[in-house]
Amino acid sequence: SSREHKLNFKKSKEVCLSYIQDAMLRKQWKRAAEFLTSYIESLEKDFSREYMGPSEIIWRMGTEILCHHSHSSMKEFNSFIEQMKTLGVKRYLKVCLEHTFHLLCNGLVDEAYENLSLAESWRFGEQTAIQDKEMKLIQAYRGLLDYYSWSKQKNILLQHGQDGFEDLSVEQEMHSCFRKAAVNLKEIIKIPGVWDLFVKCYVDLLEFYGDHNEARQVLNEYAYNSKFPANPNAHVYLYQFLKRHGESKKSLISALKILHDIVPSHELMIDFNMMLQKSKKRKKRRLGLEVIFAALDYAGWKENVKAWSCLARQVKQIVISEKHLDWIKQEWNSRKDWWPTFHFSRYLAKRNWQENESLSYEKALVAGILLGKDCKYFKYISHQGCKAQMKRFRILKKFVNKHNPVYLRISG
Amino acid sequence: TLFPSYFGAGPPREEGGPAPAAGWGELGQVLEAGPGRCQAQTTFVPRRGGTGESWEPADAAAVPLLPPNASCWVPSLAPQDILYRGILRRKLRAGRYGAALDFTKQLSHFFVDHPEDAFGSLGQLLHKNFYLGNSKLRHPHVPWRGLRGRSCSLPQPDTSCPPRSGCSRHHVASRLRWFSHLCRDWLFEVPLGLLADCLHEELLLQWANLLFDDSPTGGALAWLPPKNTGACMGCVVYPGGQAMNHLYFQDVVLEELPRARGSPAQFELNGRIRQVAAARVDAEDFVGVRSDYHCGVWRVPGRTGAAPAPLQVIRTGTPASCLTVSPHLPGELAVCTQSGTVYLWSVETGLQQLRHDPQTMFFRDHSPWRWSDFTAHPRVLSCADRTGLQCLDARAPERCHFDLFKVGEEAGCQQGERVVLPLYLGRAHPSQHLVTTQFSVYVLDERLPLVPVLKWAHMMKAPPLFAHLTPGGPGRSHKVLLGTSRTQELLLLQYRGERRGSGRGSRSACQLAGPPQKLHSIAGCLQHLPAQLPHRHRLLQQRLSAPAAGLAAVLQEDGPRESLLVFQLSEAGDVFCQRLTHEAVQPPAPTSGDEAAAAPGSSPLFDPAAALRYRRWLRALPKGCGEPPQHSWPPTLSQKRLFTRKELEVPASPSALHEEARQRLRQAMREGGRIQHWDPPATQIPALPQPEEPAGDLDALSTRLTAAWAGDWGQWWEERSSFNMAQRQRALRERRRRQKRARGQRSLSASFTSSLTYQSELSELSDAAPLPLSPACPAVLPQEGSPPAGSPPASPPPDEALLSSQSLRCRGIPKERRKTLRDYLSVWAEGPPEPPEPPGSQASQLCIPSSQSQLSSASQTRRKRPRMGF
């Protein structure tokens, strides 16, 4: 009968859990809270060796309910979490970390900092791999908060500096914040991961104290270490850093070239194209054409006026100079079977004309050169433009008609 | 800026399984919000647990959108149909094997249901030598008579299962085994080993399908939005019909309660529709339809009211597992087959094979399921199997590809996690994809492959096979609906992220907004329906809890009021819909859900329109739906199932009703007609219809038969037996002795003439004493045969008594014909179907050999069954 009792207990536990779950999924927080108070009894005989035991379930569900319950306060929330911390040793760090997040999201930065320091000093036997990671995160977040107080004090100092008097204690505090922040942030960004936030802060610290080499090294490591995921932001940060420090065009281009290789649809590709178009080297201008064509392959760029004008400008240049028509031809070859329906359909002509006239102008120019003067898109737009008595459309028509043989050479 | 996360490579390290609360309580990570770094206080946003929009269900349950799928729905297979339910079950369950499939039961079902397929031709060939009836026979030359009994009893010993209660031929099991041992090589139409292999394979397949059926992945319901913005008429595309092989395009007007307008455009396809996918390109809708071996594409022109036109169909050798429609280029689709092939299908240029690899991508998994979808680049397709996603460039599929998602440490997966459904989220952000597994949902960005930008444990009871995205405008959250098949779960998630076409600066990382929300399932409406008769309630329950087969949603903007209409399709072909209304301003008390919580079984909470819709739906629901159709009973049925032992007992005396039934049957058979009406007997028992008496001299047999028909055989016997009995007995014994002696001398070949001997014996006997009976018998016989005074009339209704195999057997009608006769008799109760074959000739022709054998063995059987008619 004790076996039966156990079975019944287990069963009612499960039923109770499903009630809580159902209530939560229907946003009936009060009801869920009532059920949860009954479910707490399941802690008494927690022999389960399941993946997720009742104590974790109570922590997770309780946190969620307290977040949404109309009658809960931060005080109640804190006392609940404090109890949860004592429930499971293995979960202590995780609960601490989550608690910190809650405090931060509620604007309680000081409490969060306190909480993190407390968690950092916690020791219990040997740490598992997961706990190790959690500990590193706790330290990193503490470093982040140190960084924020550093930047606060920096702002105060800068302001005071403008006002003309110095404050030594603030400055000292600021430096100590820097040290604490730098140590912790430096640690976390060594481990493979996505650390945009920490890297940015760390680089900011280093730059402020003039340690550009270290900053560059950190950014290079973050962008190029193969153990890290291919994070386009890493390349963006590097590019921005290089740009800030007035690095040569060459190094900027090489940074963007890598970004282009991993994310051809990145917004920076417009800057990249403009940079390349201005270049005197043929090879770079060629790359520029490639970059802008590749960007316009993506659905997200379909209505990007800037990108279309970049392409229109470069194509126009090439057509006028009548040099390097083979560049266009080569780019066009792999696109001619689908760009006409993707970019230059009659439907899009109508819509672009209605919604964005300048977009339709740039696209019509490209269409007229790539597909000839009989292409649907060009015909529709130039017709509409001429009908509306717009000068630039008339010029456009003339230009395309004049350079129609180019189309034959490209498509041939 | 992205949320911080660790990145590791390799197989997933985290152990675990479905955890009941894994999705709650975690904020994941935080990130500073907004660009205002110089502000006095930095604010933070969480990855999960941010505030979402409030969408409240408008009704208490989902409401039918369309009338019920009229055709009869055959409920899908249930676990108890194929699981072994014997004594061994507990043992097996305790063991390592999770489920024991009842192989022997299925095999015997096959023999019973398809005897013609199982041993039709040999059965016919052996007809002369093998008696195919199931009465008990003894004859030295045909030792297997009677064992053949029910054909189903043969294979059971074959499979060497222990004799158990299910086996009706318990007591003859050893002989059966012997018999089957002898005949198993040649008796079966399909060699038994082969048949067993096929059956076993099929059973495993069915079981695997029961555990997880991935064929409806993607869902078979699509919504084609209104042609012009502002118009309120869209079109819902769904399958229907008895085999779900009709494709319907139904115009739907979005009102308070969406309603169908006009009759749907209908196409009949030659396969069950598994998936319907749709995308709009250049104001035209392209609808892809996948069945197992065919995929088709329809175009719905942009003009309102234009009819959908089929464009092209392809046939695949192995079942197709995926069909998605390109949102970029008109008439382009992606097709995957279970052989591991991915095609880009263009209506204009045909099929282009992008990949053919029967192996999975990242590690070995047995599932042949493949999926493909489009990405931000119209020439790049994502290819998925259970282990992850890869993106390939259609222009150079061999060279240009990258891994988008891997079940592994990269995405923080759990062990045993598998991809269930990928979905391109292009309408929310051109480079984002949704991937669902049985445990979690992931949002991935093509620009940052392998690392999910969002991950959340969805806690659903079954893997989400359906997903739908409703993109949110600027400043709004994107709504993702997840749906499961078997459990009909429906979950609404909201997430915020980069918006399509947003400029630089306003970028923010993906974050989950608000808690997930459960929507009504189709089955949930049952408790709000008016009370039904128990039997109808059960049918309704069965119908409403049919697995879900598709999911669609539409955002309806009606001035300041916004609502989300969610459509759900069930496997029975019913389309239900529910409305969620957006509360733009957060109500002061955000616990509005609590008030709406109604106890189950409470009064309906519908507005009158919905209630009316329900009443109509219920009325239109076919009465017999869910019940196995009457006529589809397998032609042969075990009598054990049809009648109880008690019913099978021949009544102590044939009642007047019996008499009449017999009489009419006889007459009908003679005339080759049929019995049209069955009138209950009049209050006063009419005079027994006089059997037709042949004019002139009656032989002894005829007299006896007549007497037997009339029911006063006992009296007849009395008369006869009193006549010179001792003398006749002596004469008989003498003759038999002589015969025995003569037979003993004859060679074996003489046995062939045995039937002749009987014939002569019969004639001899008939003009002498009727039967060689032991002296004790005559005294007993009349008492049993005559109706005991005051006994109640026979309990079984006449037709059943007539139909019972025992009474038919008594008439010596062999088993095969008994069935015909039974069928024949069962028709008159239901009106006239096709004219039955005239049984008269058959009966008479067949009665002769059996009556012979009957008589020959009469001395043995007579003692046991003294009340037989003959």
Helix axes A282-296, A325-333, angle to 10 degrees: 30
Exposure class string for B674-707: b at 16+ Cβ within 10 A, else e: bbeeeeeeeeeeeeeeebeeeeeeeeeeeebbbb
> Per-residue pLDDT averaged across B636-649, rounded?
50
> Measured between alpha carbons, how far is B201 from B207 in angstroms, rounded to an integer?
10
Q: Do B41 and A109 touch (CB under 8 A)?
A: yes
Q: How far apart are CA B65 and CA B578, in angstroms?
A: 9
* Residue A393 distance to chain B (closest CA, Å): 24
- Is residue A312 in some structural domain? no
Q: Considering chain B, what percentage of its residues have pLDDT values greater than 90?
A: 28
Q: Using a CB-CB distance cutoff of 8 angstroms, which residues of chain A are in contact with residue B27?
A: 98, 101-102, 105
Note whether A31 contacts B379, CB cutoff 8 Å. Answer: no
**Checking DSSP bridges between strand B332-337 and strand B320-325, what pairing results, if any?**
antiparallel
**pLDDT of res. A45:** 63
Q: B7 vs A193: CB contact, 8 Å cut-off?
A: yes
Q: How many CA atoms lie within 13 A of B20 on its CB side?
A: 21
Cβ neighbours of residue A398 under 8 Å, at least 6 residues apart? Answer: none
Identify which of A27, A155, A192 has the shortest CB distance to residue B515: A27
Chain A residues with CB-CB distance to B46 below 8 A: 101, 105
pLDDT band at B60 (very low <50, low <70, confident <90, very high): confident
A195 neighbourhood in chain B, CB within 8 Å:
4
Tell me the per-residue pLDDT of A202-236, one tens digit each, with 9 for 90 and over: 999 999 999 999 999 999 999 999 999 999 999 99
pLDDT at B773 over 50: no
Strands (E), B340-411: 341-346, 350-356, 371-374, 380-385, 388-393, 401-406
Window from B20-24, B139-143, B369-373, B470-474 with minimum mean pLDDT:
B139-143
Distance from the Cα of B618 to chain A's closest Cα (Å) equals 27
User: Per-residue pLDDT tens for A303-344?
Assistant: 999 999 999 999 999 999 888 889 999 999 989 899 999 999
Taking CA–CA distances from A129, the nearest residue in chain B reads B13
Tokens of B223: 């919504």
Of B32-36, B98-102, B180-184, B287-291, the range with the highest mean pLDDT is B287-291
C-alpha to C-alpha distance for B77 and B233, rounded to whole angstroms: 38
Q: How many CB pairs under 8 A join A and B?
A: 193
CA distance A223 to A254: 13
Cβ of A68 within 8 Å of Cβ of B37? The answer is no
Of A146, A247, A256, residue with least CA distance to A201: A146
- Quote the pLDDT of residue B249: 93
Q: Which residue has the higher pLDDT, B607 or A324?
A: A324
**Chain A partners within 8 Å of B501 (Cβ):** 300, 303-304
Segments forming the whole domain that contains residue A60: 1-88
Identify whether A195 is part of a domain: no
| Residue of B6 and B238 predicted with greater confidence | B238
Amino acid letter for position B509: A
A197–B7: do the CB atoms touch at under 8 Å?
no
Nearest to B451 among A191, A194, A266 (CB): A194
Averaged pLDDT, B804-819: 60
Classify residue B221 as exposed, middle or buried by CB count within 10 Å of its CB (0-12, 13-18, 19+). buried
Q: What is the largest CA-CA distance in chain B?
A: 133
Question: What burial class does residue B207 get, using C-beta atoms within 10 Å of its C-beta: 0-12 exposed, 13-18 middle, 19+ buried?
Answer: middle
Q: Is residue B730 scored above 50 in pLDDT?
A: yes
pLDDT for A363: 94
> Between chains, do A298 and B376 touch, taking CB under 8 Å as contact?
yes
**pLDDT band at residue B47 using 50, 70 and 90 as cut-offs:** confident
Query: Does the pLDDT at position B595 exceed 60?
Result: no
Of B5, B329, B501, the CB nearest to A341: B329
Return the minimum-mean-pLDDT range out of A234-238, B122-126, B840-844: B840-844
Q: Which of A133, A200, A334 sits opposite B6 (nearest CB)?
A: A133
Taking CB atoms and an 8 Å limit, are A265 and B377 in contact across chains? yes
Distance from CA of B491 to the nearest CA of A (A): 8
Cα B636 vs. chain centroid, distance in angstroms?
20
On whether the CB atoms of residues B457 and B19 are closer than 8 A, the answer is yes
DSSP characters over B273-294: EEEEEEEEETTEEEEEEEESSE
Q: Which two tokens stand for residue B821?
A: 């006769």
For residues B384 and B372, the answer to whether their CB atoms sit within 8 Å is yes
Question: Highest mean pLDDT range out of A22-36, B599-613, B710-724?
Answer: A22-36
Q: What is the pLDDT of residues A169-194, one digit of tens each?
A: 888 888 899 999 999 999 999 999 99
Low-confidence winner among A42-46, A361-365, B398-402, B441-445 (lowest mean pLDDT): A42-46
By CB atoms closer than 10 A (0-12, 13-18, 19+), residue B237 is buried
Number of domains in chain A: 1
Domain membership of residue A60 (yes or no) is: yes
Q: What is the pLDDT of residue B227?
A: 79
Name the DSSP letter for residue B724: S
Choose the weakest-confidence range: B24-33, B139-148, B197-206, B318-327. Answer: B139-148
- Better pLDDT: A267 or B834: A267
Distance from A320 to chain B by nearest Cα, in Å?
30
Query: Mutate which of B5, B27, B403 to disrupt the A interface (most A C-beta within 10 Å)?
Result: B27
Residues of B in contact with A24 (CB under 8 A): 24, 515
Q: What confidence category does residue B440 fall into, taking pLDDT thresholds of 50, 70 and 90?
A: very high
Whole-number Å distance between alpha carbons of B133 and B812? 9
Q: Which amino acid is at B503?
A: G
The mean per-residue pLDDT over the stretch B84-95 comes to 56
The pLDDT of residue B694 = 46
Question: Of the candidates A297, A244, A236, which has an alpha carbon nearest to the alpha carbon of residue A268?
Answer: A236
A-chain residues near B448 (CB < 8 A): 194, 229-232
> What residues contact residue B837 under an 8 Å CB cut-off, 6+ apart?
B820
The residues pairing with B5 across neighbouring beta strands, listed in sequence order, are A194
**Looking at A35-39, B106-110, B146-150, B605-609, which range is the least confident one?**
B146-150
In this complex, the residue of A107, A200, A267 whose CB is nearest that of residue B41 is A107
Q: Specify the pairing of strand B233-240 against strand B5-6.
A: unpaired
Is residue A47 included in any domain, yes or no?
yes
Chain A residues touching B447 at Cβ < 8 A: 232, 262-263, 265-266
* Geometric angle at alpha carbon A213, from A208 and A215, rounded to 5°: 55
Q: Which of A386-395, B160-169, B544-553 has the lowest mean pLDDT?
A: B160-169
pLDDT at B141: 37
> Searching chain A, which residue's CA lies closest to the CA of residue B377?
A298
Domains of chain B by start residue, with CATH: 48-74+212-499+509-583+605-623 (2.130.10.10), 77-85+107-112+175-211+638-668 (no CATH)
Q: Provide the token pair at B607.
A: 């507005």
Nearest CA in chain B to A94: B26
Tally helices (H) and strands (E) across chain B: 23, 33
pLDDT at B701 over 70: yes
CA separation for the pair B754, B366 (Å, rounded): 64
Helices (H) then strands (E): counts for chain A: 22, 1
What's the mean pLDDT in B804-811?
A: 57
Task: Count other Cβ atoms within 10 Å, centred on residue B599.
Answer: 6
Q: How far is B43 from chain A (nearest CA, A)?
A: 6
3-state SS, residue B56: strand
- Confirm if B423 and B493 have CB atoms less than 8 A apart: no
Indicate if the pLDDT at residue B40 is higher than 50. Answer: yes
Q: What is the dihedral of CA B634, B638, B642, B643, to 10 degrees?
A: 170
Give B161-218 pLDDT, tens digit per residue: 333 434 444 555 676 677 767 777 777 777 888 888 988 898 888 888 888 889 999 9
> What is the tens place of the pLDDT at every residue in B558-575?
777 889 999 999 998 999
**What pLDDT does B589 receive?**
43
Inform me whether the pLDDT recorded for B834 exceeds 50: no
Strands B388-393 and B401-406: antiparallel
Name the pLDDT band for B97 (thresholds 50, 70, 90).
low
Could you identify the residue written with the tokens 């035209």?
Answer: B284
> Does pLDDT of A295 surpass 90?
yes
Residues of B in contact with A229 (CB under 8 A): 7, 410, 448-451
Residue B378 is nearest to which of A70, A151, A299, comparing CB atoms? A299
Whole-angstrom distance, CA of residue B307 vs CA of residue B264: 10
pLDDT, position B726: 61
Residue in chain A closest to B28 (alpha carbons) equals A98
DSSP B194-258: HHHHHHHHHHHHHHHHHH---TTTT-S-EEE--SSTT--EEEEEEEESTTS-EEEEEEEE-SSS-
Of residues B20, B37, B379, nearest to A17 (C-beta): B20
* Residue B635 confidence (pLDDT): 40
- pLDDT of residue B436 exceeding 90: yes
Considering only the beta carbons, identify the residue of A70, A140, A192 that sits closest to B589. Answer: A70
A303 with B501: Cβ contact below 8 A: yes
Residue with tokens 């939560």: A24
- With respect to residue A32, please indicate whether it lies within any of the assigned structural domains: yes
C-beta atoms of B19 and A191 within 8 A? no
Contact (CB, 8 A) for B297 and B333: yes
Q: The tokens of B297 are what?
A: 């594409």
Distance CA A219, CA A241 (A): 8
pLDDT for B50 equals 79
Return the pLDDT at A32: 92
Question: What is the total residue count of chain A?
Answer: 412
Mean pLDDT value across chain A: 88
For residue A158, tell me if it sits in a domain: no
Q: How far is A40 from chain B (nearest CA, A)?
A: 14
Nearest CB partner across the interface for A228, out of B7, B28, B593 = B7
Pick B6's closest partner by Cβ from A30, A70, A191: A191
Which range has the worst mean pLDDT, A118-127, B517-526, B636-645?
B636-645
Please give the mean pLDDT across all residues of chain B.
Answer: 73
Question: Mean pLDDT across the stretch B355-371?
Answer: 92
Q: Which residue has the higher pLDDT, B414 or B683?
A: B414
Closest CA to B493 of A350, A90, A25: A25
Contact B21 A267 (CB under 8 A): no
